[in-house]
């Protein structure tokens, strides 16, 4: 696969951050499998500058934010949030998410990141509240770990895990 094809196919794996695929394309072999691509893309993020990592984290939307327009959510984010039922929150849950999103952003300076596919709203809310107790350095690293989980799930959704 050419670099251009790789970027076209994997440019959206990391939320609104095609630079990850662009860097990975420079190093991927012709016969790279799912695990190699996932590791290579994760390495590109892990070896990026703090500023680039922060930009990547900030590229993610708030969870269950009804104020976010459809144009602001990537198709992947919309599907992931819907898979966890975040598009079906009760008014009370919407308010709880709103309060938690605000508290989290105020404390850490970036959105709460969690790989929500396969999780319930209650699990997400519990994790949200628990992680508010973390210090900023812990939560920055946790956000990157969650972003890597999201990327792996997105790669799986492309069918790469079975090639």
162 is a catalytic site residue: no
- Given 27, 60, 148, 162, which residue is catalytic? 60
- Counting the structural domains of the chain, the total is 2
Domain-embedded: residue 145: no
Q: Please indicate, yes or no, whether residues 91 and 123 belong to a single structural domain of this protein.
A: yes
Residue 106 maps to which CATH number?
1.10.3330.10
Same domain, 66 and 112: yes
Report the predicted TM-score, pTM, of the whole model to 2 decimal places. Answer: 0.86
Domain of 66?
61-132
Nearest residue to 149 (alpha-carbon basis) of 118, 110, 123, 125: 118
Q: Residue 138 falls within a domain, yes or no? A: no
What are the φ and ψ backbone dihedral angles of 106, each rounded to 5 degrees? Answer: -60, -40
Predicted local distance difference test score (pLDDT) of residue 111: 96
The verdict on 2 and 17 lying in the same domain is yes
**Confidence class of residue 44 from pLDDT cuts 50, 70 and 90?**
very high
Each residue's pLDDT tens digit, 45-71 = 999 999 999 999 999 988 877 554 445
């Amino acid at each position: 696969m050419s670099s251009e094809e790789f970027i076209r196919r994997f440019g959206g794996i990391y939320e609104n951050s095609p630079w990850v695929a662009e860097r990975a394309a420079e190093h991927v072999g012709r016969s790279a499998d799912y695990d190699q691509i996932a590791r290579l893309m994760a390495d590109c993020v892990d070896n990026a500058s703090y500023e680039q990592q922060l930009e990547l984290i900030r590229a993610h939307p708030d969870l269950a934010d009804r104020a976010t327009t459809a144009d602001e959510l990537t198709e992947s984010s919309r599907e992931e949030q819907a898979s966890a039922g975040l598009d079906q929150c009760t008014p009370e849950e919407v308010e709880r998410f709103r309060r938690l999103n605000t508290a989290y952003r105020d404390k850490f300076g970036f959105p709460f990141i969690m790989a929500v596919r396969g999780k319930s709203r209650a699990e997400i809310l519990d994790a949200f509240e628990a992680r508010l107790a973390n210090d900023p350095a812990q939560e920055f690293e946790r956000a990157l770990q969650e972003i890597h989980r999201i990327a792996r799930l997105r790669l799986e959704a492309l069918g790469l895990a079975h090639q």
